[in-house]
Structures are given as structure tokens and as C-alpha cells.
Amino acid sequence: MDSGGRGLQARPPVGSASDMPEPDQGALRALLTAARLWRNRQIASPRFRALVSRLPLLRIIANRKANQLFRLTTGFVHTQILSACVRLGLFEILDGRVLSTAALASRCGLGPDPMRRLLDQALRLELVVSAGPDRWMLSDAGTVLAADRGLREMIRHHDMLYRDIGDASAFWRGDVGETELRQYWAYVRGDKPAEIDNAQAAPYSALMRESQAMLADCILASHDFSQYGSVLDIGGGEGAFLGAVGARHPSLKLGLFDLPAVTDLAGRHLRDRGLLDRCTLYAGDFTRDLIPAEQDCVTLVRILCDHDDDRVLKILGNLHTHLKPGTRLVVAEAMAGASEGANLAAIYFTTYFTAMGSGRCRTEAEIMALLTRSGFQNARVAATANPLLAGLIVASR
Ligand SMILES: C[S@@+](CC[C@H](N)C(=O)[O-])C[C@H]1O[C@@H](n2cnc3c(N)ncnc32)[C@H](O)[C@@H]1O
């Protein structure tokens, strides 16, 4: 109950916690630890669990926790159902229509019974909804999956990650050897990334281009690029982010820096989007080559997370050497944090970068510390619309 009255600033009563001396942190920690150990002993006891199951309120809590644990235990099954739906083209087929099981079976190339079984599973996972007896349409999540090819491509490429982490204990022991993801992200191998060729760069560059849409929307909603005259996207891939910035701000001058094999691909993509005239492409290695200094904002989108701290310091050190004082630096990538989205991102990306053998999902504070160590000033967090997609840090050269 709100005893102080809604809207009123309740004053702490005399003798309340705020009048007390600060508790000794060590003693408090010991008390909390003892309480947790006691609680764990109760939960481990079958007699306690039997008691809880007879008390309505506690039973609700216990069942919720049991469901969470079961969801965690069976997550790999959910993933494979989703993966099958993507691979069979279910989301594109159902996009904007209602179809029967038989129609879906013929379009997906499945027999009617396996199709119905998969649709029932997709219904349970809220990927589709029922539109009457034996008729189906997309749910909210299914609609997003149908609309976002990048998301579907990400799900497809998870087959590699799935194989890389198949032997879970070896994986977490660090006994993984040469993983598929390490092959895929060719620039994390060796110290001459500028030598990778188009065949190595094309698959990851296409994935990055396709998966940029939601991220670009999130960044553009969180940072005002209209304050700049020019933007250089470092490690800009095929230019999908730059294309989104350019489309939103038609008077911005655009620049893109990436490995030679990737700037070739970027040239084609930006020409197709009618943006090549406004954009200058720079090919090189961002850890050591000259970075053009004329623009007033540079962006690092999904870049620092790919690299271990020593290479991040080389990237930032090289930028600091070449950029002119006052240049704004915007870092956008998934960051670990307390929100549910940031926590989900950290679980996923920590596993992903471990499989890739390079990089990590850092907290905002860790990224700001690396920026400060490299000489950048006034590093600050800018809130983003969706911490699951990206965090944002802005600093000045
Ligand atoms: C994870 S992708 C991100 C691409 C793009 N920023 C995006 O978010 O879609 C990393 C990019 O950094 C580029 N890259 C990696 N190492 C590089 C280096 N040493 N010098 C220049 N670019 C590099 C890759 O070619 C790739 O395009």
C-alpha cells in the first residue's frame, strides 16, 4: 500500500532506514549470502517443494520458475522450429495472406501431416496464429520475420554457430580449434586483413547489409545526424548504414572506409541506391592506414565488439592520430547491461564472439574507458530506443 499517498513525497518516518548508519558492506554481503544459501537449501528439499505446491500463491511463483527453467532447457528445440520455418519459406509464403494447411504443405514442399505438425509447433511458439479450422496467418513475430530479410538471414547463418558450439563443454573449456565462424569472418584471422579477397568478404558483407535495417532505424532515432555536414562510416561494409543516414539527411556528405575487398562491394551497392555521387570510398586497414580527417562525424557501427581490447586500442589510437580535434565519434553496437534487452544481447554475443575467437560484448563503461584511454574526450552514453539492438556512445576527438 502507498501509505504516503499517491503523488506526495513521503518523508521517511523517524527511525527509518535513512536515519540509520550505513550498514557495513561486508556484513551485509555475508547476510545476503547466508540468506541465499538457506533459500537454496529449502528449494533443494523435496519436502519444501511439496509444501509450496499446496500453497496457492507460492505455487504460482514456483510454477513460473519451473516454466522458465523448462524454457531454458528446451530452447534448442524452439530454435530448430524457427529455423525450419525460415528454411521452408513459411514467413514469406504467409505474408499478407491466410492459407490452409494443404496450400502451405504444397508451397513448402512438405506432406500434409508434417506440415500440420510444424504449424502446430509454430502456433505454440507464437510465430503463426490460427485463422479458423485448418487455416493459418502470421502472428506479430511472424510478420516481423516476413518483413525483415536480414533477420531471416541471421537465423540461417546460425547453423554455423550451432555446429561450433555443438560440443558444449569443449566449447566453454576453450577447446574449439578453428571454428566455422572464424572462417566466415575472415578479417579476424591473421594480421593482414587488407589482403582478404572478394570471395571471403562477400558472404559476411551481404549478411551485414541485409541485417542493417532495424539497427540503422534504432541509431537514427537515437542520434541527430542533421547537426553534421559530413559523416564517415568506418568499417562501413557495403554502405547499408551510410545509405540510411544519407536517405534521412539528403545534404550530408558521405564517406565510407573499409577493407579493399569490401569497398569494391560498397561501390556497387551505393551505385544501385543512387548514392555513389555523394559518397567517397576509402580502402585500407583501420588499425594502421591513414583515416581521412575532413568530416565532422565518424561512426563505428558493430566494429569494436569484433575485436579484443588490444586491437580496439589500435583502431581507436589510429583514429585519434588522424582525426581533427573536435570530430565527433559515434559508437553503436550491442552492449552488455542491466536491461532485459542488453542482458539477452550479452548472452548471445558473448557466445558468438567466443566462437569467432575474437571480440566481446562490452558494457558502456568498458567502451567509454577504451575511448578515454585512446585520448577521446567527453565520452557519454546516448539512450537508444532498443538496447537489444544497440547501445550508443558519443565522444569527441
Ligand atoms: C561486423 S562488420 C560491420 C559492418 C557495418 N558497420 C555494419 O554494421 O553493417 C565489420 C566491418 O569491419 C570491416 N573491417 C574489419 N577489419 C577491418 C580493418 N582492419 N580495416 C578496415 N575495415 C575492417 C569489415 O570488412 C566489415 O565490413
Is 45-147's fold the same as 180-396's? Answer: no
CA 303 to ligand 1 center in whole angstroms: 6
Q: Give, using CA atoms, the residue closest to atom 22 of ligand 1.
A: 258
CA 379 to ligand 1 center in whole angstroms: 22
CA 257 to ligand 1 center in whole angstroms: 9
CA 236 to ligand 1 center in whole angstroms: 6
CA 354 to ligand 1 center in whole angstroms: 18
- Which amino acid belongs to residue 319? L
Q: Point out the ligand 1 atom lying closest to the alpha carbon of residue 211.
A: 9
What are the tens digits of pLDDT across the range 11-50?
Answer: 444 444 445 556 678 899 999 999 999 999 999 999 999 9
Give the long-range contacts of residues 181-186, CB within 8 A, separation 24 or more: 181/352, 181/355, 181/356, 181/357, 182/355, 182/356, 182/357, 182/358, 184/157, 184/160, 185/306, 185/356, 185/358
Q: Where are the domains of the chain?
A: 45-147, 180-396
Q: Give, using CA atoms, the residue closest to atom 9 of ligand 1.
A: 208
Q: Give, using CA atoms, the residue closest to atom 1 of ligand 1.
A: 302
Q: Give yes or no for residue 269 CB within 6 A of ligand 1.
A: no
What are the tens digits of pLDDT across the range 145-191?
Answer: 999 999 999 999 999 999 999 999 999 999 878 899 999 999 998 88
Q: Give yes or no for residue 361 CB within 6 A of ligand 1.
A: no
Question: For the residues 213-241, what does the mean pLDDT come to?
Answer: 94
Residue-level length of the chain: 397
CA 249 to ligand 1 center in whole angstroms: 23
| Strands ordered across the beta sheet of 135-138 | 99-100, 135-138, 128-130
Kindly state which CATH superfamily the domain 180-396 is placed in.
Vaccinia Virus protein VP39 (3.40.50.150)
User: What are 355's strand-pairing partners?
Assistant: none
Look up the CATH number of domain 45-147. Answer: 1.10.10.10
Q: How far apart are CA 129 and CA 135, in angstroms?
A: 9
What are the tens digits of pLDDT across the range 114-136?
Answer: 999 999 999 999 999 999 999 99
111 grid coordinates: 506432406
Q: Give, using CA atoms, the residue closest to atom 12 of ligand 1.
A: 235
Report the range of poorest mean pLDDT among 77-91, 190-204, 283-297. 190-204
Q: How far apart are CA 341 and CA 347, in angstroms?
A: 10
pTM, entire model: 0.88
Q: How far apart are CA 263 and CA 279, in angstroms?
A: 11
